Each structure stands twice: as C-alpha cells, then as structure tokens.
Structure 1
Amino acid sequence: MPESAEGPQDAASEPEDAAGGAAGAEDVRPDAAPADAPADASQPEDTGVHRAEVRRSLLRPLVSDLPAERPAAPPAAPATPAAAPAPGSAPLPPAASPDGADPDAEEPLGPDGTRLMQAPQLLPPGSGHTGSTPLKLLAALTNTPPPEPTLMRSIRRRFKIWTPVVVLLAVVFVIVQAVRPLPAPSLRTATASSYAFPGTALPTTMPWPAEGQSVAEVEGVGSLGVHGAQTPVPIASLTKVMTAYIVLRDHPIKGASQNGPMIPVDKQAAEESGSADESTAHVTEGQQFTERQMLQLLLVPSGNNIARLLARWDAGTQEAFVAKMTATAKQLGMNHTTYTGASGFEETTVSTAVDQLALAREVMKNEAFRSVVALANVTIPGVGTIYNNNNDLVKPGVVGIKTGSSTPAGGALMWAAHKTVGGKQQLILGVVLQQHGGVTVNDSLNTALARSQQLIESVQGGLTSATVVKKGEVVGSVDDGLGGSTPVVAGADLTAPGWPGLRTPVTLTPLPGGLPHSAKAGTAVGTLTIGSGPDATKVPALLQSDLASPSFTSKLTHF
C-alpha cells in the first residue's frame, strides 16, 4: 500500500516537474511570461500586456545599474522549497541558458518559490565585453548610426538647407522692387551749353571814346563792354532821369496817353525860370500842367526849375526828395552814386557810367517815360514848342534818353536805340560821361552826342540773329531713372539775337511741376532758352515719341 500510495504521488509530480522543465526551457523566449508570475493555464500567452511586462523585465537589470537611489525592496517571503524529484526518477536536465551562461548557476527564486527569468545580456554588435555603461547600451539600442559622410551627401544636405532661404529672399526682393516708388524722371540736354556767333568780336571793333567813361549793352542779350575807369564823376542833367523815375513810381500814369493830375507852378519855380546860369523851362506862377506835361518840361528842354518843383510836389521839400533818390539808388545797386539835388545842377551829384546804365535799364521799362524821352520836340499850351537837346533823336532807331552838360561834367549822354533782328525789336542802351571838345559846354555836349552816335551805329550794324536750333531737332531726353530714355525735340526754331564773337548760354529746363512718368508724343515737358533775363528767347521742348512708364523688368533690375 505504501508503494501504491507513493506511486500515484510520484506519477502526479512527474507532470509538474515536466511542466517546470518545459517552463524552464521556455524562459529563453523573448515573449515568455515572467518567472515570478504565478502559473495560470487560463491566461493568454501572447498579449500586449504580456509583451510590455517582458520588455520591462529585460530593461530592469539595466536600470538597476544606474547610480540613482532606489527604495528598499520589501522583505522577501520565505521561499517554498521546490518539490524533490520522485525517488528512482532521473533528474531533470538543466535548462539551457539562452545567452550561453553557466546552466549550473543558481537561479533567483520568487516569493512563491518559482524561478525568476534572468534577462539576457544585450550587447551592441562587436562590443566584445560587458563593461559598457548603461547609457551607452541604451544609445546602442535606440540610435541608428548615421550614414557615412560623402561629398554628394554634403552637397545634397546644403542644397536642402539653403534652397528655401534663397527662394524666400527672391520672393521678398521681387515684392520690394515691384512696390518701391519710382524715381523722379529727369530732363537731360543734348545740346551745347552755349552758342558762339561767328566772326570777329564786335566789342573789339566798336569806336569806344578815348576819354571819360562809356558802356553799352543789348537788353536781354548781353554787355558789349565797359571802357574807362568807373570812378564817380559829375553827371549834370542825367540826374533828372532819377527824378522822373521816382515821380512816376510814386504817381504812376499809364501808356502814352494818360496825363495824370494837374500840378500848379509855384512862385519859386516861376522865379527860377528866368535864370541865365542854368537850363530852365519858362513858366509863370499859377499855371497848371498835367503830370505828363511836367515830365515833358523836365526831360525835353531839361528844366532845372521843373525838377525842383516836382521834388517839392512829391516829397514836400527838395531835401526830402533827395533822400528818396539816395534810397532808390541803393535799391537799384547804384553803389557809386551820390545825389545832392533833383536837377543835377550841383557838381556834388556824382555817379559812374555803369550805375547810370543800371538806372536806364530800369526806367526804360516804363512806357510813359519812354514816350516822353523819345520826343524830338513838343508843344505845350502856355509854353509853346520846345526842342530836345538830344539831336541824335533824328537818327534812325534812336529813342532817347537824356543829355547832360556842365563845366564839371563836360558832355554826357544816356542813350537808347532800337534794331529789329529775327523779327524782334532789340533795345540797345549806353552811357558816355566826361566827354570834352571845343571851348564851350555846348561843344562838349555835341562831342558826347557824336561819339554816342558812332557807338549806336556800330552796334546796329553788328547786331544780327542766328537759328541756333531748328524745329524738330533733338535737344535732350527724358530719363525715367530706370534706364529708359525718350527723346525731346525743339517745338519751334530757336532764333537768337547777337553779334559776332558773342557766346550766349543755351539751357533746357523742365516745366514747373516736374516731369510725368508717362505722356503722349508732342507733350511739352520743358523750355529751351537762349540768352538770359526777361528778353531771352524761349521755345517749347516736346516729346518726340510716347513716354511710357518703366516696365516690370526695369523695376526688378533697378537697384
């Protein structure tokens, strides 16, 4: 009976050992159940939880090697001795170690006495030893070694990095170039900056007086020259030109017909009219004359008494009027001129030819003044017919202006003449001072008149005109600032007055308001000018072809 009792017991234990042996043999499988888990025949062998537990059991020995502190493990329960093999049965062969470890080594047991599966040692390929740190093992398990660097791989890598950057910069550049403001167009000239009239220079051939001072110019064209030292000298009755200028400025009358207010002759003017020592106009106290008639009595017979009368009428006293004369001279730039009276009878009234030319240029702008000084004679009711002392007025083209003569001043003349060239009337102005001839004052005046007439005729003979630019000739271009250019042509013949040897400036200027970015052919964009001053000759400058706005390509290539 004991044997029969033991027999079944041994027989029953054999399957258990066999199962244990089989379990030990299956410990080498990566997806095997942990050794410390209780055997449960009903639990699935291959689940996600099961595999996660296997992975954690494989990594647990690696993490345990880290130096970090770990909480103390609870005391293990008493191990249950493993069931001894049945007497007479052969011992089970030791389980083969999957990593080649010693099969006789003692295996750890769990709290329930079952064996724990020992994690295999995972080493990187070719390590050859187990001394690697855990971090290196983790790196070997998780990192993929980079490919071996080559020239082509480096080129491809740089191309992938820089291509987006370059594309972005190109897009930004295109946008900026497309929206940036266009530069302002400019007008460029294609003609010479000046034009020289051919021939021997006229100023070198003119008959300039050998004594005194002299100067001449063509208004709006240029100066013909200055001769003699410009030192202040007595100017005699040339003073009356400033007197007439101030009276007309303070009491203007228009044109050649308006007469202005009535001015009475006072006692002083009437008494001075009988003087034999100076030039006067014969008037009587109580007479009344218009402002125009008073100017005729002042400038035609050169009445000194009328000059002082007009000074008192305008400013109250002659002294107050002289103060006006001095201030006006400074305004006109007559810096070497001194006025001490309204008539010029005082030898302390001095000036230069250049200063007197500046006054002539200004006063000849007044039409009323021009209409008076051009008179060779005039008839005034209550006075009779009076004659101008300027005998040159009978010469062709001579239109004034005023004579002067005295012992200190000699003979003097401020003169004006016309010459029509190129369809336009040109004004010629000149002054001669300190001319002497014969034995009397009248002889000196006649000398001044003769020498002035020689200058007038010389200028009239040399004054000419030239077509500097013909209509349709290219004179410049409009530059759009982006490399585009549109030709500009003269809208009419540019004909300028001048004389041999004269070099006159030629300029091309844009119209006020600036140039357009686009316009049709024939649009005026500027002015072509020859000469200077208000009398300069001007013609319009027109587009030869359509002016187009800059293209998109031009915008992109503009930096």
Structure 2
Amino acid sequence: MTELDAAAAKAKVYRRRRIVVFSAIAVVIALITTGGLYTANALGAAVPAAAPQVTDPEPVAAAPQSLALPGFGGYAVGAVGFEGLMAAGNESTPMPMASITKVITALTVLAEHPIAAGESGPDIEYTDDDVDIYWDMVAQNGSVAPVEAGATLSLKESLEALLIPSGNNYGISIANWAFGSEQALVEKANAWLAANGLANTHVVDSSGISDDNLGTASDMVLLGEIALRDPTIAAIVASKSVEIPELGTLENSNKLLGTHGVDGMKTGTTDDAANLLFTADYAVGTSTVTVVGVLLGGENHSVLDEAIAALLDSVAPGFHEVVPLEANQVLAEYTTPWGVSARARTADGATVVVWSDTPVDVEVRADPITLAQRGEEVGSAIVRAGTQEISVPLVLDAGIEDPGAWWRLSNPGALD
C-alpha cells in the first residue's frame, strides 16, 4: 500500500467515528429533551379525583297512629307546619258555623284596624243604639255580652266581649264602628275569606246567628291557623275569663279550655247543633306542636266536648321526635389513587318532629374531591319528612394533600 492509499484509509475511519459520536450525542440530546417534557408535564398535571363511597341511612317510619274518631258531624284536625290533615270526616261538606263566624268577623276588622302587640287599639264609644242591639239579640235567643250606654271600650276589650262569652250584640256594634253597618262588614268578610283561600266558607252576618253562615271543616282548620297568627286573637281565645271594668267578669264559653291540651279557640251553638273550633299545644321532645281542629254538628256541647277530648288524646301521642342524623356521623368515605383516605362527616345533627307513620328519609350528596383541607365542606345530607326539609353540611375529617413528585413521575397513566 502506498503512502497515499494509507492516508485515504485513515481519513475514512475518522469520518466513521465522527458520525458515530455525533449520532450518539443526538440521541442523548433527544432523550434529555423528551424526559424533560415528561417530567414537566407529570409534575404540573392535575391529580385524579377521588369518588365518594356513600352510606345512605335507612328511612325511618313509625307504625300508623290509631285514632278515636267522632261518629258524627264534620271534622278535621291539622297541625301548624304539618302537611295535610291528621284526621277528617265529611270535611268538604258545608255546615252551619254558628258563632265560629265571630272569628271571621274579628279577623276582618283587624285586617283594617290592626292592634299593635301589647296595645289595646282605638276606643269605641257605646250608645243607646248598642243597648238596643243587645235587647234585639236577647229577643232572638242569641248569646249576648253586657253593654252600657256611655261606656268606652278599647277595640281589644270589644273583641273580648265578642269572642269570650260569644256576644252576638258586639258583632253588630263592632261592625257598625268599623265599617258603618253589619252588611258592609259581611261584604268585607266574604272578600277576606276569598283572599285567604277559604273558598268553601260564606257568611251572612257578623255573629253566626243565621244557619246560612256555612263553612267546611277543612276550611275551619285553615281559619284557626290564620287566627293564631294574630297575637290579639290568640291571646283572647286562650283566656278562661277577663275582667273589664265597664262590663265585669266575662267567662269563656269554651269549657274544654285548659284540659286535654286545649288553649282555644271558639264555640258555636245553633238550635240544632254544637260546634267547636279548637287549638291545643303538646310538647314533643324539645319542640311544641300546635294542633288545630274542628268538630261541627254535635248533639250538644257535652257530647261534642267528650268526642273532641277523646280525639285529641289519641292524636297527641302520634307526634314523635326522630333523630335521623347525629353530629359527626360518617356518611361518605374517600380513598385517593395514591392511598390517602378521608371521611365526610355531618357538621351537625338533625332532629324532626313527625306525625304517625310519616317517613323520614336522608339523601346524601357528596362531591368528588381532588385536593382538600380538613374541615372543608364536600356536600350535604338532606333530611326530608313530609314538607319539612333540613340540610346538614358534610365536612372532611382529614386533609387530602398532593401525592408528590415521585408518585406523579411513577404513575403517568393516572394523571389527567
């Protein structure tokens, strides 16, 4: 081999080595570049959400309450804040209301002449005309309350004379003062009934002396609930008696008052029947339940009161307190793909008062979570019982922290 050939061979080997070296460098650079991108992506990716494993409490329901129902008339029993009626019979049949009409009269007057809490309202001066009304009611064998010409009574005292001894004469006298005539009050009262949803009730006078004053038992329950919202009426109908200087002592015609939980509301008596619109309060756990009911068409008040007492004594035990949720109760659990666990607990307990076999149900709404702090709200538990609904927040009992770089780099398929 000549020197020229040897030089050419040496140059060829050098070129091959340079190609290999630069090829290796290119591969290394590519690997570094690709690895850097993967690392950046892995460390910056969002971690997957952990789905909750929910525990739904079983619904709670008691046995149906057995009731002692009247065997006569039209009746209905409800409770403030509770849906529907606890008991009912002939509740859609219009029947003479008698002096329950006076509650409508009082509410109609107070709608235009309200009495502020703790006050007695405007004064009413009574004259010889009011005395004549008194004697006219006596002639019609209607119930009356005493009146004197020249006496001045507050509106509250006048309503006490109307509602406590059931003075028919005060219905007319108050109507004349408030609206100019009894007929004007009747028109106002029927408009008030329509506006308040008592579509099956109609009045023709201020006292109920006419049998054409008609209402249904279901309407009477609504009437009683509306009356309880007015503090003046609520206080009057709960009074066994009142002392009015110009009139003396007025005794309540409701003989059930103060017994069987009864604390109101109004008697009604016709030549053919006895009625009572009644309210009663019962302690149930830490709450008080207000029952509103009516019985129309009793033979007399003795028979009527006995039937109402038995009915109320059977209704009251049907209300009971249920605790569907305890505070700190676990309702959902979380486990992350990187092995961290936490539980969703109730922030508070929940207590509801229910009637009879009304079911109490709990719906758990827990959200999926990624990273979260201890005590963070992650959903709610909804307690439902009839129309009652209580929402209790769910909070985490442990934090969910980022899994860190090593887990991220070693679990590429778990990252978003």
Summarize the alignment of residues 20-35 of structure 1 with structure 2, pairs less than 5 Å apart.
none
- Alignment partner of 1:289: what SS? strand
Distance 1:262 1:387 in 2: 22
- Alignment partner of 1:253: what SS? coil
Distance 1:248 1:240 in 2: 12
Q: Which residue matches 1:370?
A: 234
Q: Which residue matches 1:387?
A: 251
- Identify the match of residue 237 of structure 1 among 76, 86, 99: 99
**How many angstroms does 1:428 deviate by?**
1.2
**What's the CA shift string for 1:296-354, capped at 9, x where partnerless?**
11110011111122222222222222222112212222121111112111111101000
Q: Which residue matches 2:153?
A: 289
- Identify the match of residue 461 of structure 1 among 317, 321, 332: 317
Distance 2:189 2:132 in 1: 25
Summarize the alignment of residues 90-109 of structure 1 with structure 2, pairs less than 5 Å apart.
none
> What runs of 5+ residues in structure 2 fail to find an aligned partner?
1-40, 47-51, 335-340
2:280 touches 2:292 (CA, 8 Å); kept in 1?
Answer: yes
Summarize the alignment of residues 126-205 of structure 1 with structure 2, pairs less than 5 Å apart.
191=56, 195-197=60-62, 199=63, 201-202=64-65, 205=66
Q: Which residue matches 2:308?
A: 452
**How many angstroms does 1:411 deviate by?**
0.9
Distance 1:537 1:406 in 2: 43
1:339 touches 1:348 (CA, 8 Å); kept in 2?
Answer: yes
Distance 2:414 2:109 in 1: 63
Q: 1:334 to 1:521 in 2, by over 3 A?
A: same
- Identify the match of residue 120 of structure 2 among 240, 255, 259: 259
1:211 touches 1:228 (CA, 8 Å); kept in 2?
Answer: no
**What's the CA shift string for 1:61-111, capped at 9, x where partnerless?**
xxxxxxxxxxxxxxxxxxxxxxxxxxxxxxxxxxxxxxxxxxxxxxxxxxx
Summarize the alignment of residues 392-541 of structure 1 with structure 2, pairs less than 5 Å apart.
392-408=256-272, 410-436=273-299, 444-474=300-330, 488-504=344-360, 521=375, 523=377, 528-531=382-385, 536=388, 538=390, 540-541=392-393
Distance 1:531 1:316 in 2: 48
Matched to 1:544, the amino acid is L
> What runs of 5+ residues in structure 1 fail to find an aligned partner?
1-173, 180-186, 437-443, 479-484, 511-516
Q: 1:232 to 1:544 in 2, by over 3 A?
A: same
**How many angstroms does 1:359 deviate by?**
1.0
- Identify the match of residue 110 of structure 2 among 217, 233, 248: 248
Q: Which residue matches 2:18?
A: none
- Identify the match of residue 268 of structure 1 among 111, 129, 136: 129
**How many angstroms does 1:506 deviate by?**
5.2
Q: Which residue matches 1:209?
A: 70
Q: Which residue matches 1:543?
A: 395
2:237 touches 2:263 (CA, 8 Å); kept in 1?
Answer: yes
Distance 1:249 1:509 in 2: 45
Distance 2:55 2:168 in 1: 57
Q: Which residue matches 2:25?
A: none
Percent identical among aligned pairs is 24
1:213 touches 1:434 (CA, 8 Å); kept in 2?
Answer: yes
1:220 touches 1:532 (CA, 8 Å); kept in 2?
Answer: no
Comparing 536-545 with 316-325, which one deviates more in the overlay? 536-545
Q: Which residue matches 2:337?
A: none
Summarize the alignment of residues 337-348 of structure 1 with structure 2, pairs less than 5 Å apart.
337-348=201-212
What's the TM-score, normalizing by structure 1?
0.56
Distance 1:477 1:334 in 2: 51
Distance 1:320 1:468 in 2: 53
CA RMSD of aligned residues (A): 4.0
Comparing 423-432 with 224-233, which one deviates more in the overlay? 224-233
Distance 1:245 1:509 in 2: 45
Matched to 1:372, the amino acid is I
Distance 1:325 1:475 in 2: 53
2:75 touches 2:296 (CA, 8 Å); kept in 1?
Answer: yes
- Alignment partner of 1:369: what SS? helix
Q: 1:229 to 1:466 in 2, by over 3 A?
A: closer
Matched to 1:461, the amino acid is P
Distance 2:205 2:271 in 1: 17
Matched to 2:67, the amino acid is M
Q: Which has the higher strand share?
A: 2
Q: Which residue matches 1:144?
A: none
Distance 2:413 2:129 in 1: 83
**What's the CA shift string for 1:155-214, capped at 9, x where partnerless?**
xxxxxxxxxxxxxxxxxxx9xxx99xxxxxxx99964695312x3x11xx2111111111
- Alignment partner of 1:231: what SS? coil
2:383 touches 2:389 (CA, 8 Å); kept in 1?
Answer: yes
**How many angstroms does 1:449 deviate by?**
1.8
**What's the CA shift string for 1:496-543, capped at 9, x where partnerless?**
223442335656799xxxxxx97761649657444456xx47463232
**How many angstroms does 1:243 deviate by?**
1.4
What's the TM-score, normalizing by structure 2?
0.74
**How many angstroms does 1:234 deviate by?**
0.7
**What's the CA shift string for 1:392-420, capped at 9, x where partnerless?**
11315211011101024x11111111111
Greater relative contact order, per chain length (Cα 8 Å cut-off, separation 6+): 2
Aligned residues: 359
2:186 touches 2:203 (CA, 8 Å); kept in 1?
Answer: yes
Matched to 2:292, the amino acid is L
**How many angstroms does 1:360 deviate by?**
0.9
- Alignment partner of 2:375: what SS? coil
Q: Which residue matches 2:20?
A: none
Distance 1:229 1:425 in 2: 26
Q: Which residue matches 2:200?
A: 336
- Identify the match of residue 355 of structure 1 among 219, 224, 244: 219
- Alignment partner of 2:144: what SS? coil
Considering only CA atoms, is the larger Rg found in Structure 1 or Structure 2?
A: 1
Distance 1:302 1:461 in 2: 32
